[in-house]
Chains A and B, each alone.
Chain A
């Protein structure tokens, strides 16, 4: 399983479990993501050097906490991730992993995101009339502005679990919108690059369904 015959969209149906690289850059806990992927039948490993990404059927960039932690995704990791994405390997960003795919965040203005999606992540702010608690914690509902592979079969109004203080703007590639004081990107998708602001691994059956949609892409 060290070498892949072909990448992403061009890969033939392969035997055995889909092999997912879970990128660990030191930002929090990967246990629940690993557990959810295992429950869906995927084989997961954490690459130790960027070169290992080449053998992944799919790459997940997780993340909780501070945008600054994405500094851990050093130039060689960024290059390797960009190269595999260019090759057509499916990528899924989760939470800060979604934010990192944008150009940056006001949470850490000197740290650049990968810039796959245009825009800068912003902090939630309330207003005098609508006091807003930050972080945005809990189950909130989704609307889907367009049909995407990632959100296929997800009904409007489906609730998923969020925990974050910063959010990405709504863009052309937005696959799901959530409202918390303002509308933000709950999910994005462009070609084989997908990301979710919520935590599919903690969102019950709906979350597993969405993760399953993405894993099918990686097959």
Chain B
């Protein structure tokens, strides 16, 4: 049976893992390779490196961070932040990434999704959607949550899928870093709208939140950062909890 994936996100700036609340107020959480090694031991299913400031500061994801993490793990590794062109994606993949995650670049240049899917296959292309509840709908934001777009999250997920995306990484800006739980309404709406896997992100604070997003939220994978970084919860314990709730996980 296909397991629900638990993904650790490393938000990286200047080679260090940082984490903020609602995309702001970053604090230092340590060395990416050290964290990756710990997560690997604890049984994490996948790692995502996001250079959270890359797009804003017009900087590409750092190849050496990718390589340092890739050296530590024999697990799927995705990289996002600052992937704006085919060359950026190629550099990340050459450095050891299995997948690239497109966000702002996909919004401004949706054709890039198709270009990368043709070159590397859909399984290598994640489209990241940052969404915020606004006037009764989920509005898509670009530039690390800073600029509103006219797009609707559900419609954009459908379009990204049609253009060749292999997975959707869906982040609730409202919940990000709050530990108030994943946005199950948003996640279920997108998961039902597309036939590709949806990774839920933003708001993980307890084991129950993961169980909820896999059941009510119909997520295929769940991503968290701060809940793991600061040793608040271990991946091992989380998986044992989910297993006890009859949610299929890799043990």
Contacts and interface: CB of A to CB of B under 8 A. Distances in A.
Contacts of A140: 1-3
Interface residues of B, number: 34
Contact of B2 (A35, A138, A199): A138
Contact of A64 (B3, B4, B70, B120): B120
Contact of A203 (B40, B74, B93): B74
Nearest to B118: A66
Nearest to B96: A31
A92 B119 CA distance: 23
Interface string B159-202: 00000001100000000000000000000000000011100000
Interface in A182-204: 199, 201-204
A29 B93 contact: yes
A137 B220 contact: yes
Interface stretch (A70-78, A110-118, A159-167): A159-167
* Band of interface residues on A: 35 or more
Contacts of B93: 28-29, 31
User: Quick one: which of A31, A66, A134 has the most chain B CB within 10 A?
Assistant: A31
B94 A29 contact: yes
Given A35-B70, A133-B196, A139 B45 contact: yes
Given A134-B196, A159-B3, A204-B74, A65 B121 contact: yes
A179 B3 CA distance: 12
A139 B46 CA distance: 10
A45 to B, nearest CB: 17
Contact of B70 (A32, A136, A138, A179): A32
B137 interface: no
B69 to A, nearest CB: 12
Contacts of A132: 195
Given A35-B71, A135-B196, A202 B98 contact: yes
Contact of B76 (A28, A65, A161, A180): A161
Interface string A121-142: 0000010000111111111110
Contact of A66 (B2, B4, B121, B196): B121
Given A135-B196, A137-B220, A180 B75 contact: no
A179 B1 contact: yes
A163 B96 CA distance: 17
Given A28-B124, A65-B124, A135 B74 contact: no
A66 to B, nearest CB: 6
Given A31-B70, A131-B195, A202-B76, 20 more contacts: A28-B93, A28-B120, A28-B124, A31-B93, A31-B94, A32-B77, A36-B74, A64-B120, A64-B121, A64-B124, A65-B119, A65-B120, A133-B197, A136-B2, A139-B45, A139-B250, A140-B2, A141-B3, A165-B123, A205-B74
Interface of B: 1-5, 40, 45, 70-71, 74-77, 93-98, 118-124, 166-167, 195-197, 220-221, 250
9 contacts: A65-B121, A137-B123, A137-B166, A139-B250, A140-B2, A163-B76, A165-B123, A180-B2, A203-B74
Interface of A: 28-29, 31-32, 35-36, 39, 64-66, 126, 131-141, 159, 161, 163-165, 179-180, 199, 201-205, 207-208
